[in-house]
Amino acid sequence: MSGNDSTGDVTSRYEWPYAVEPFQCHRCGNCCRGDGYVDMSADDVLRAADLLGRTGERFIAEFCAVQPDGKVHLIHQGDALQSCVFLTADNLCRIHAAKPGQCGNFPMKWRPTDALEICAGLRHAAGLPPPTRRTISVRTG
Q: Kindly report, residue by residue over 60-116, the tens digit of the pLDDT.
A: 999 999 999 999 999 999 998 899 999 999 999 999 999 999 999 888 787 888 888
| Total residue length of the chain | 141
Residue 53 burial (CB < 10 Å; 0-12/13-18/19+)?
exposed
Rounded to two decimals, what is the model's pTM? 0.76
The answer to whether the beta carbons of residues 4 and 67 sit under 8 Å apart is: no
DSSP state of 106: T
In the chain, what are the domain boundaries? 20-125
Distance between CA atoms of residues 79 and 39, nearest Å: 20
φ, ψ for residue 91, nearest 5 deg: 65, 35
The pLDDT of residue 40 is above 80: yes
What residues have CB less than 8 Å from 78, skipping those under 6 apart?
A: none
